[in-house]
Structure 1
């Protein structure tokens, strides 16, 4: 009788070669990646160092152990073997922890009562209806055309699409423009460990079409001039924990290449082996391997955009991983007229955070289908890339903004920001509002003005009076133009409490001596 093969992650204690790599960063990252780190003041750290080669060698040469993937960010290997063989790896002093995909085999587990929900994973469940139309409505719903009209079409931005396959991207006429302009920079098939990424499930090709597709006068993606890396991490025929590890490998590769935005229209809740299934309690942004990897991707300076999931009508109902990660921009699906799609997954996360974050067209979305034709399809798989392209265009317009600032602006511009819901999150973002806000020339403060400080601010805004005026009227607006606070500030008490405001960007209108000044402030 043969022992059952298990999947597990083996975590290491350290990286003995850390100093060597820190002193030679180009051994780890491209110059473009290093330039991004410098632009956003992100230091190299322990997570950037490759997994120690000697540790990998010893694990590889352990009888009964097969290495399937590795992650430098999480300092771990994904292995397969019997429970005994994997557990025995703890005998190595450089092994810090072993985590089985079957959580019942782990020595310490969460002290929670899991609500077991059995459902059929339907991440690829999309429907093709009609062979006609234009992408105008899915771009204009987000007011992304404002960015295009101002020549921000993604040029110079790099997007990594992590998915299940990209067959016919090298042949379909809808991708001829990006092929001719050399906008496909490369890719990799992590499932088969080879460079053939024009293969696999057509899901990835269809996802890519909403960002990069182009058919003159008929179809335009949301970032038609961006550059792309195409990574296959999803084995459409199987659902295994290995796919999470492969996704993290692809995200690490994207980081090393200097990619700006990652789109992933994938999510994980259940597996072929039901002992590996996640529960809703696991959707806390900190439990799954993929969500922890996605969070690190954000910390490297990238924006990760992820579909919320198509479980709104199922017993599961909730978002999937990595849509539960705190810093991932998770996207629900709406119709072009703004109504939420019934299939779009619900939040919040198990720990109560708002998810999905925002929504875009994913019901009756125009795509290029597996036959190379324009068609209508449904799924958060498409709302995510539709938004991804517009995000890339916005960041192209304002490259000095950090990923956190861009994400926060997107949330605050959405129509439900003040009253988010479990299925729509903050709602549909308005990129015209963001563009106009960031494009405004804020008047420079000079000494004869009343100056608020600090900026960014935590809880108390102070005012420096360098004018004859004894008081100032202060009106604070959110990005939707709504008044959130009004006060009269005097020289005797030049402090305004703003602790009640949510984190984000606000406009401060100061009125005194028949003068009015508008100043942008950031509330941390």
Structure 2
């Protein structure tokens, strides 16, 4: 946000205003936190949501805190008149003479001073032309059809729900082209009020440039004229004066940009630029004051469109802030896509390609400001830029998650020369229909933001909003994230209807799963509750004999009667062994794997064989312990 503290409206200034930059903001700790909380209350909720989505934080930081009041007061105490106070730049702009500037520069908290740059208006260049023969969109048909806007309108895109900030010289909202425009707020940074049309103190025709620019975005005049995105809502900032030879309004540009961003705009467009105070080597996207402010705006998630300028055809003739990496710089062409001679060229000082894209900027019809019903033909990058911004609004309606980088990438990738960009046309002529892509050629029945695979999308189940690329897998046996693979724990290998992720403890055995009937004698955890059968509990063998491993003495069986009988009969206790159980008490094999153990009575195997061969006068069987 940026506040107008005082305003110099006198004409004929001998010297340009001055930027004064401060070293710090005099806030830290609890005081800083309190200041940030105030900014959270001041910024529009829409702004905070956008910032949080793009930045991944709370949406406010020290850049949103105003400059220290003591610093501003000390600057004013020199006699300088404060024009604008910038939070993002931690600076003020002032009208000051040489003595006052010297006094300001000596203040210990001042980091530096520099002149406020004059605006280079990208003037409309009126031309004569015939009305188009097709009246599907009236006078606007040639430039709209070149961008494939009629097809975008036909698939339901109008910019509804998108907020566009437009910054210019003023706006004649009484023109019939704006009868249905939704103005959220308007601000005149030149006179410090909310009147953005011509008013007392303005030069007549002040609102001419801005009226034409705005009509290319939002106009809705039936079959006579249509803007690219008539469904958008707008924030309007008047930041230029036309009554002085050199309009030093770089500070007003910063003021309008901070205000529009803080009011919740999604897209910003301005057909204004600055280069006269900057050498080509300074147009690096970081040096010009407006470029520094634009960097902050883009980092906050504001999608910015900027006219590259009308200084072509020589290289390195672009204006700031079109030099910023992340700002979408727009050049001008005719309707055949040929770059006009006047369209400025790149590269930037650090050798980045500019412009990003081009759009119609020659023989373009727009609203006239000297009539409430008339239109005129004109040319310039002032016209190609709002047309590109209008396309951006339609795309943002189609793809609401687009951020500045995503918007630039989409426009570049679908323009006419995506693989061979240059410094004349950038990545090429905008193709709105190609950029809209599947939104206009496919369906998204479940409204999850992914289009059906049947028509070229990536949604493997367009009836289920929980199934799409990037979705979380849940334990339902379905490919929720559309990667054509199920996690192993979601596969029901034994067909018992229960998956490993749902608690199946043995996916190879259909008899084992939660809810299965527990069998008391099979030593298996059938119901997967983690508890085994009581009948299979390990035993200690306390009831069995423990000795008798020596060779038998001659003439005796070495056996005693289990009931203490002494009648000379041979009494034996038959030891039951299970399938090859050893005489050492080790677990027997063939027990179904339950870990049960067959207990012996301590007698060696040879003795048992001998006893089995003797006449059996008395045999008592002893059962195997469970």
TM-score normalised by structure 2 residue count: 0.63
- For 1:213-234, what per-residue CA distance to the aligned partner results, in whole angstroms no more than 9, with x for missing partners? 1221121100101111111111
The equivalences for 1:348-367 within 5 A come to 348-367=347-366
Structure number with the bigger relative contact order (C-alpha 8 A, sep ≥ 6) is: 1
Residue number in structure 2 paired with 1:8: 18
CA offset at residue 125 of structure 1?
Answer: 4.2
Q: 1:281 to 1:67 in 2, by over 3 A?
A: same
Q: CA deviation at 1:239?
A: 5.9
- Corresponding residue for 1:474? none
Instruction: Please name the residue that 1:185 is paired with.
Output: 184
Q: 1:190 to 1:316 in 2, by over 3 A?
A: farther
Kindly name which structure, 1 or 2, has the bigger radius of gyration based on alpha carbons.
Answer: 2
Does the 8 Å contact 1:131/1:374 carry over to 2? no
| Alpha-carbon distance in 2 for matches of 1:301, 1:239 | 35
1:19 to 20, 25, 33: 33
Q: Secondary structure, in 3 states, of the residue corresponding to 1:127?
A: coil
User: What secondary structure, in the 3-state scheme, does the structure 2 residue paired with 1:359 have?
Assistant: strand
TM-aligned CA deviation for residue 308 of structure 1? 1.2
Matched residue, 1:206: 212
Once the two structures are superposed, residues 283-338 of structure 1 have per-residue CA deviations (whole angstroms, 9 ceiling, x without a partner) of 2111111111112111111111111111115x787111111111111111111122
Q: How does 1:256-335 map to 2 (within 5 A)?
A: 256-270=262-276, 277-313=277-313, 318-335=317-334
The superposition leaves residues 8-46 of structure 1 with CA deviations (integer Å, 9 ceiling, x where unpaired) of 221112222532121234443012212222333353211
Secondary structure of 1:129 counterpart? coil
Match of 2:242 among 222, 236, 243: 236
Q: Give the direction of change, closer, same or farther, for the CA distance of 1:28–1:173 in structure 2 (3 Å limit).
A: same
Matched residue of 1:135: which SS? helix
Question: Does the 8 A contact of 2:305 with 2:328 survive in 1?
Answer: yes
> Among 43, 52, 55, which residue is 1:29 paired with?
43
Distance 2:123 2:484 in 1: 60
**Secondary structure of 2:331 counterpart:** strand
Which residue does the alignment assign to 1:162?
167
The answer to whether 1:49 aligns with 2:55 is no
Distance 2:67 2:41 in 1: 13
Q: Are the equivalent residues in 1 in contact too, given 2:116–2:249 (CA < 8 A)?
A: no
- Secondary structure of the corresponding residue to residue 24 of structure 1: helix
Structure 2 CA distance for aligned equivalents of residues 317 and 209 of structure 1: 30
Where does residue 84 of structure 2 map in the other structure?
69
**Structure 1 position 138, deviation (Å):** 1.6
Deviations 1:146-170, CA, capped at 9 Å, x for gaps: 332222211111111101121x32x
After superposition, the Cα gap between the structure-2 partners of 1:238 and 1:176, relative to the gap in structure 1 and judged at 3 Å, is: same
Distance 1:47 1:337 in 2: 44
In structure 1, distance between residues paired with 2:293 and 2:252:
11
Q: How many residues align?
A: 419
> 2:155 — aligned with what?
150
Consecutive unaligned residues of structure 2, counting only runs of 5 or more, are 1-12, 133-138, 199-205, 440-449, 462-468, 471-482, 487-626
- Quote how far apart the aligned CAs of 1:126 are: 1.3
- Superposed, 1:119-518 pairs within 5 Å as 123-130=122-129, 132-133=131-132, 134-166=139-171, 168-169=172-173, 171-178=174-181, 183-199=182-198, 200-238=206-244, 240=246, 242-270=248-276, 277-313=277-313, 318-372=317-371, 373-437=374-438, 440-441=451-452, 442-443=457-458
Matches within 5 A, 1:56-135: 56-60=72-76, 62-101=77-116, 123-130=122-129, 132-133=131-132, 134-135=139-140
**Secondary structure in 2 matching 1:367:** strand
- 1:383 is displaced (CA, Å) by 0.3
Q: Deviations over 1:225-265 (max 9, x none)?
A: 11111111111233657411111111111111101111100
Whether contact under 8 Å (1:28, 1:49) holds in the other structure is no
Deviations 1:181-204 (A, max 9, x none): xx0122111112122111223100
Asked if structure 2 preserves the Cα contact closer than 8 Å seen for 1:164 and 1:201, the reply is yes
Partner Cα distance (2:363, 2:232) in 1: 24
**What is the TM-score with the length of structure 1 in the denominator?**
0.74
> Which has the larger strand fraction?
1
Supply the distance in 2 between the matched residues of 1:197 and 1:175 (Cα, whole angstroms).
Answer: 14
Q: CA deviation at 1:130?
A: 3.1
Contact 2:197 2:207 in 1 (8 A): no
> Counterpart of 1:22 in 2: which secondary structure?
helix
